[in-house]
Each structure stands twice: as C-alpha cells, then as structure tokens.
Amino acid sequence: MASNALELDDLTVTYISRTRRVAAVRNVNLTVKHHEIVGLVGESGSGKSTLAFAVMRLLTNAQVTGRVSVGGQDILSLDPEALRRFRWNTISMAFQSAMNALNPVMPVWRQIADTLKYHQPHLSDAEVRQRIKELADLVRIDPARLQSYPHELSGGMRQRVVIAIAIALHPSVVIMDEPTTALDVVVQRSLLENITAIQEQTGFSIIFISHDLSLVTELADRIAIMYAGRIVELTPAATAVQPDTRHHPYTQGLLAAIPRLSDETVVIRGIPGNPPDMAHLPSGCPFAPRCPQRMDRCQDEEPALRAAEIGQIACHLFD
C-alpha cells in the first residue's frame, strides 16, 4: 500500500478559452493520508472545485500540470480505459449540487445500480441489490425510499443518495464538494455525523470542501486554506480554533467571522474587500489588498508555503 492515499505535486490548473486564461489552481502541494479527512476551505472562486475536478480528471477546457497520485498511481497519465476502471473504484466525488448530480427522470435506486454495473460489470443482479441495501443502511435511508425520483426526496435525502453513489465501489479517497451547503443547520449536522460514522466504519480518506471553516474544524483532521488558487495555510484542525495559535492573516479573518456561542452579542465580522479576479491576478501576495498586516514587500513578492511553528503558512510575516 502506498504511504499516502493522495498526493498532489505542484498541481496547476489553467482554464483556457479564446479570450482569456484563468489560473484557477496554482502550484498546489498536498498529501492526504490513509483514513485522513482533509478540509479544503476558501471563499467562492478560490479554486476548490477546480482542484477536485482536476484530481478526478473531469476537466475538458483546462491545462493541468503537475502530478496527481492516488494510492501510488499517477492518474494524469492514465489512458481513457484505465481511467474508467480507476475513477469511482479508487477515487470518487460527491458533487456540490445533488439536484444536478442526479438524473431527474430515473428512480434513485436505478442510478446507484447503474453506477455499480458500469464500474463493476461482473456484478450479478443479486450482488447489486445486496450492495444497494448495504449502502442504504450506511447513509441511513429506508430502502423503500430508493424507489423515489430525486424531486420526491428532501435535500438532505438527495445528498445522502449522492454520497451513497460516491462510496458505492469502496473507493479509497472520496472528494465531497460542499455536500451540506444547501441544507439547513439541523440536516447539515445529521449529515456530517453520518459522514463521520461511515468514514470510521469504512476507513476511506476524504477531501471535504467547504467555505465554512467552523463546520470543517468539527470534521477534519487537517485543514487546507485556499486563497486565489493557492493553499495559503495547512493546519491541524485541533489547533485551528485555539486562540493562541498564529495563523495566516486570511485564516485569522475567517476565524474572526465564526460567531462564538459564549459571546453575549454575536458580531459577525466578514473580511472586507473581495477576492482578486483570477484572470488578472495582481503581482505579489494576492491577499495584500485586503490584508491588515501587509508590508512593502507583499506588493511584489508572492510568499511561498513554508513550515511554520504549527503546520505550513504562505505569508511574509512567517518568513
């Protein structure tokens, strides 16, 4: 068994169209260990989904460079047939919008069955039925509900179906892209708890993508903070919210935006300003225009991700 479940080396993704180039993911290095949950956190547009799609090799209009290795297998070099065997069996993804991920005119049990049969054609009908029953148990859906069409299910149920499809073939890595974002808080909590239980039981690794840092700290072992296509901080989840830990100024902004239950009056402070236009990145640190701690050198020198006291941080304050 390879030492890490997933390794990204210098992963760079550039969307290319006739009129412009967007460097949506830039020089990302990340390892995910076996059984580890890594939270990938950043504002909308920071490149989280692009990273996920690149790892799954689902991008068609983009240039992808660097190395993506899953269980020791270099997946950027796989031919289409090898990729078909590999995708879903070894690494899978639960997509951001369950409504778009599911076929509206097909009962959900058939969508699970089709995934199983497409990726493991040797399975008998009885084996497929058995596996669907196991999956329904894992994601806590009454098997009878699987006769429904997607629109007949609640948002939380649909997301459970999407997760069932993602884990159907026992992958070693599952990427979950904002799986709980569209759900209300109670449903969100129950789904998170379900994901944790399934992961403990089956042991796969997870990249859990979210724009919500407080949610991710509850679930993840480590957190990767993304800004303007780069990972700007890698930190253990256990210390992320401790007040005496030093963080990247962007992470500090995200932490300050988390309301604390102990506060009598909850003041939610967002980070002023907007993320940069990824088609026209400024020189220097991309966070500089919004950074309360910027220095002269931040305007023209982009900081690299380096080992910090805890984890890794890309900021000149930590050089």
- Positions touching ligand SF4 (CB under 6 A) are 249, 285, 287-288, 291, 293-295, 298, 303, 315-317
Who contacts 202 (Cβ-Cβ below 8 Å, separation ≥6)?
138, 167, 170
Nearer Cβ to ligand SF4 (229/249): 249
Kindly provide the b/e burial profile for residues 46-74, where b requires at least 16 CB atoms within 10 angstroms of the residue's own CB: bbbbbbbbbbbbebeebebebebbbbeee
- Under a CB-based contact definition with an 8 Å cutoff, are residues 240 and 258 in contact? no
Residue 43 beta carbon to ligand SF4: minimum distance, rounded to whole angstroms: 14
Residue 229 beta carbon to ligand ADP: minimum distance, rounded to whole angstroms: 7
The Cα 295–Cα 195 span in angstroms is: 42
- Under a CB-based contact definition with an 8 Å cutoff, are residues 108 and 153 in contact? yes
Residue 210 found at the interface with Mg ion (CB under 5 A)? no
Residue 251 found at the interface with ligand ADP (CB under 6 A)? no
From residue 35 to residue 64, the character string flagging contacts with ligand ADP as x (rule: CB under 6 A) and all else as - is -------x-xxxxxxx----------x---
Residue 48 beta carbon to Mg ion: minimum distance, rounded to whole angstroms: 5
CA atoms within 13 A on the CB side of 79: 1
Tokens representing 180 are 């709980």
Q: What is the DSSP string of 2-59?
A: -SEEEEEEEEEEEEE-SS-EEEEEEEEEEEEETT-EEEEE--TTSSHHHHHHHHTT--
Nearer Cβ to Mg ion (4/49): 49
Binding partner of residue 15 among ligand SF4, Mg ion, ligand ADP, none, CB cut-off 5 to 8 Å per kind: ligand ADP
- Nearest CA-CA partner of 318 in 223, 258, 245: 245
Q: What is the DSSP string of 69-88?
A: EETTEE-TT--HHHHHHHBT
Nearer Cβ to ligand ADP (14/172): 14
- Under a CB-based contact definition with an 8 Å cutoff, are residues 115 and 88 in contact? yes
Nearer Cβ to ligand SF4 (80/272): 272
Binding partner of residue 287 among ligand ADP, ligand SF4, Mg ion, none, CB cut-off 5 to 8 Å per kind: ligand SF4
Nearer Cβ to Mg ion (152/277): 277
3-state DSSP helix/strand/coil % of the chain, to nearest 5: 35, 25, 40
Residue 22 found at the interface with ligand ADP (CB under 6 A)? yes
Contacting residue, 11, 24, 231, 285, with ligand ADP by CB under 6 A: 24
From residue 261 to residue 290, the character string flagging contacts with ligand ADP as x (rule: CB under 6 A) and all else as - is -----------------x------------
- Nearest CA-CA partner of 71 in 86, 57, 83: 86
Binding partner of residue 45 among ligand ADP, Mg ion, ligand SF4, none, CB cut-off 5 to 8 Å per kind: ligand ADP
Nearer Cβ to Mg ion (111/210): 210
Nearer Cβ to ligand ADP (52/135): 52
Tokens representing 261 are 């239950």
From residue 18 to residue 57, the character string flagging contacts with Mg ion as x (rule: CB under 5 A) and all else as - is -------------------------------x--------
- Nearest CA-CA partner of 248 in 296, 303, 210: 303
Q: Which residues bind Mg ion (CB under 5 A)?
A: 49
Give contact residues for ligand ADP (rule: CB under 6 A): 15, 22, 24, 42, 44-50, 61, 278
